[in-house]
Structure 1
Amino acid sequence: MLGWGSLCARAMLVLATIACLAGASLAHAAEQWQNEWAVAPGFSITSDTKGYDFPSAIAFVPNPGPGPKDPLYFVTEVRGTIKVVTNDRSIHTFAQDIVGSKPPEELPALVAETGMAGLYLDPTHGYVYVSFAYRDEGMVLRNNLVRFESTPEVFSLEPKSKLSFTEIFADQPSSQSHQIGAMLVHEGYLYVSVGDALQTHLVRDLNYTVGKILRMTLDGKPVPDNPFYIDDDVKKPANFVWAYGLRNPFGLTVAEKGLF
């Protein structure tokens, strides 16, 4: 019959074996994860610019100017700043304080997962569109959209004007997740994706902007041939609805047969 000391020794040996196996398994899992996300053959990763504070989106100028100080790409920072990077890789502040007040806690707290979301460049008009979630005067989360005007085709280091689309979303819900997001200009109209604000029962309700793809003029007005258009009232979400029933659309692109 084994004594207490022998039993303890065997138990410790079993635990040590399990720990070793678990460690090996975790190491293998980590190695697999790294392999799955490894850089594909023929590609490499380098640091182009640095010094950003929670960068949330990037958009390249389609045909940048040739000069060293001509804009190459734009970067949004989640707390409300737009940076523009020029051909010589210098970084300039294009606009700031867009979102307004900061959240009560900073990331990685859930309450901090709001701020700048989508970024889109319209080279034809030199427009820079940004979408974001913010807290209104009552500390209620809302979606919003702002358009900055710069130089057509090549853009600029500073905006010429600013247009807010606040009225469209002022009475509409948002949330710490599934907020407003991607934008796209197609055939002269602006398309905007809006998540369901974690309120799935509203995605099929045309009285709400959440869970929808919205279609509007470049100035934020309803388009008369939208499928549920009623009138020109910007406070009626139905006037903007192009598609509904979506959960969390976070990308838009145009393919041969439609919008995706």
Structure 2
Amino acid sequence: MRTCKRLILGLSFVLASAPALSEQTFSSDKAEFRLETVAQNLEHPWSLAFLPDGSQLVTEREGRLRRIRDGKLQEEPVSGVPDLVVSGQGGLLDVILHPEFDDNRTLFLSYAHKISGEGMTTRVARAKLEGDRLSDVEVIFEALPRGNTSRHFAGRMEFDRDGYLYVAVGDRGEMDRAQKTDDDAGGVHRLTTDGKPAPGNPFTDDPSVNDTFFTYGNRNIQGMTIHPDTGEIWSHEHGPRGGDEINIIRAGNNYGWPDVTYGIDYSGVPITDRTTMEGVTDPLHYWDPSIAPSGMAFYTGDEFPEWQGDLFVGALKMQKLVRLSIENEDVKEEEDLLEGLGERIRDVRMGPDGALWLLTDHSDGKVYRIVPAE
């Protein structure tokens, strides 16, 4: 009994004497930084958006849209979120603001949806944010046909400079669907803000391909961002066991899944013996073994001039943040950060304050800011 008491007292001392996270300094090859905890007690947060008034919106996969004001997580979630299903990897996923949000208060949500007897799919809804509630909620996109799995919904979204919305849909765990261009699974769809096929989409003259398709052959995209200089949309996607990829999303491209991959099946059985083939776009970068990437952002702030133009990618399986130094379309340097943090990084965002923001994928998920160590 005395031994247990000494252990408890000793542990209490260690915990009490350990520096707070905001006081710890982390080092990279180019900069020293620390983490500030903005919010916690979020249930599997998935995506983050910055509002013009300085507050933030956070999605929880469990189906809640939360707001952070002045660094404090509001207890009551935003009301009016559309009906969705929380199952496996599905739930409330991405949130992104309309490019003219200041004027129209419009945002977009991606999420998993189920109809009994018909299965589940990835949906996108448009809505207006009025105070702490959503109004005028309208479904503008639904990936068809539905499926019976609870995997690979994808759901990441991004706007290009022309104001068109890119929506990633996973292969739903049924790999052959990614090569079927009359099936919305396994690709990136480019839409107007009304959900119609965007003008100039590459397959509108081909009756065998759904008009919203911009790319296909994508397995499960969970990171998407716009390049600050070129304006092109970059993405990353989960491979199976190995073969996580970074790609530039270009009109009409086939990214090969599952005909080519650097990974193998989870069972250990090869999926294919090819890593490239004619007519398929090779990845700009890949990981083997898998890191399970999620969330990505180019650094464009002033807080870390050494990181200007670097690409940051979160990792779920490997529980780290990856910094990639890129010249043109070549990765020149790769550095792993926050490996000792022990947290699954779900989302990475470039904040308007010049800081990088992170979400951690846990039942007690957190929102962090990366700020200079001073």
Q: TM-score range by the shorter chain?
A: 0.5 to 0.7
Structure with the higher fraction of residues in helix conformation: 1
Cα contact 1:132–1:143 (8 A) shared by 2:
yes
Cα contact 1:172–1:209 (8 A) shared by 2:
no
Structure-2 residue corresponding to 1:176: 150
1:93 correspondence with 2:71: no
Cα contact 1:143–1:173 (8 A) shared by 2:
no
Higher RCO (C-alpha 8 Å, min separation 6): 2
Structure-2 residue corresponding to 1:259: 233
Structure with the higher fraction of residues in strand conformation: 2
Q: Which amino acid aligns with 1:242?
A: F
Q: Which amino acid aligns with 1:76?
A: T
Deviation at 1:246, TM superposition (A): 0.9
Deviation at 1:144, TM superposition (A): 0.9
Structure-1 residue corresponding to 2:119: 140
Q: Which runs of 5+ in 1 are unaligned?
A: 1-37, 66-70, 104-111
Structure 2 length as normaliser, TM-score? 0.48
Q: Which amino acid aligns with 1:247?
A: R
Cα contact 2:122–2:155 (8 A) shared by 1:
no
For 1:1-260, list aligned pairs within 5 A: 39-40=26-27, 42-61=32-51, 64-65=52-53, 72-87=55-70, 89-91=72-74, 92-95=76-79, 98-103=82-87, 112-125=88-101, 126-138=105-117, 140-150=119-129, 156-165=131-140, 168-173=142-147, 175-186=149-160, 187-230=162-205, 238-255=210-227, 256-257=229-230, 258-260=232-234
Cα contact 1:133–1:180 (8 A) shared by 2:
no
Cα contact 2:168–2:188 (8 A) shared by 1:
yes
Deviation at 1:123, TM superposition (A): 4.6
Cα deviation code 1:25-45 (max 9, x no counterpart): xxxxxxxxxxxxx94363223
For this pair of structures, how many residues does the alignment match? 200
Of 91-100 and 238-247, deviating more is: 91-100
Identity of aligned residues (%): 22
Cα contact 1:144–1:180 (8 A) shared by 2:
no
Larger Rg: 1
Of 204-213 and 112-121, deviating more is: 112-121
Q: Which runs of 5+ in 2 are unaligned?
A: 1-24, 235-374
Secondary structure at the counterpart of residue 94 of structure 1: coil
Q: Which amino acid aligns with 1:145?
A: V
